A = this chain, B = another copy of it.
């Protein structure tokens, strides 16, 4: 497929839902987009609790083997990396056993259903001295990479305020049926875990550690139609929305929220960062654009510049040589390349599961309802 020198990284994939498919597409795309990669992903086997799903997935993505017993992956010498795309309730068991078996772990967010689970997984990974990776793919959008560079390079000065918000409408309607996402037992927190983990990861990634946080969680729609029992409803017991204020270690202030019942917000993930020398803004719905303002522009010409990212913004040019637009799935290709590249080079990269522990601490603190010092 690639040069003779390229290493194949053996992958065992667990979970065949939407996110599993996104991962498989990303792995397959790595050599096309990064033909000079140090390694390429090689999916050797896929597992799902339902054998027919595993088989269909294997056929769809041309994977040679499939199983309904994910534990078999852990015993295979040709599997170096275990890719965890199951619902969160299975993460603890799979990730800790995979680590114990000496496999590197690439886990979707939220990693644990709560701080304890996330910490336990991180402990297992550390103890086993394996590498870990987490699917915080919004970091990978070229516009977000540019934002990170502008901030970390000091181009916009000292951060003063950080707003991050992630709102979706999938639960917006009172008629939206109950699913595992609305169950604390199966999903852990609701919007706070599903959306909040991205919110807090972006905040930490872009503006550094948070010292204190104070939040709220709300159940807006307390009962939903039970798809299993026509005419009946089922109780929602995790949050539909959260809000939070924060103080960063740097002294900057933070304003965060997530909402899964937000009419009008079709996957609206945004950040808005004000600093002493400029400001940056991003909206996932226009993921290829970054809004940047530099304070040293003359007042009569100052404002936000809409940068349409393109070939001048790495690794954009790998995909298209003009500004015709990347999509959500492309961010996962960038992420997959980083994962196998790090493994091939033996480098430790962020975001690791350790980074998720910091996120999980914030999620935990928000639920307590008043100001909470966060141990960074």
Contacts and interface: CB of A to CB of B under 8 A. Distances in A.
Number of identical monomers bound together in the oligomeric complex: 4
B18 A321 contact: yes
A293 interface: yes
Nearest to A321: B18
A305 B308 contact: no
A69 interface: no
A173 interface: yes
A322 B61 contact: no
A60 interface: yes
Contact of A243 (B32, B156, B253, B324): B253
A310 B267 contact: yes
Given A241-B253, A329-B320, A279 B262 contact: yes
A53 to B, nearest CB: 12
Nearest to A323: B266
Interface string A227-257: 0000000000000010111010001010101
A329 B322 CA distance: 12
- A interface residue count range (under 10 / 10 to 19 / 20 to 34 / 35 or more): 35 or more
A293 B32 contact: no
Contact of A264 (B267, B293, B310): B293
A263 B293 contact: yes
A148 interface: no
Given A263-B275, A277-B263, A60 B321 contact: no
A180 interface: no
Interface in A149-171: 156, 160-161, 163, 167-168, 170
Nearest to A267: B323
6 contacts: A35-B60, A261-B274, A263-B293, A267-B310, A319-B329, A320-B327
Given A302-B312, A325-B328, 7 more contacts: A160-B261, A174-B276, A264-B304, A267-B310, A300-B307, A306-B306, A327-B327
Task: Give the 4 A-B residue pairs with the shortest CB-CB distance, closest first.
Answer: A327-B327, A264-B293, A264-B279, A266-B323
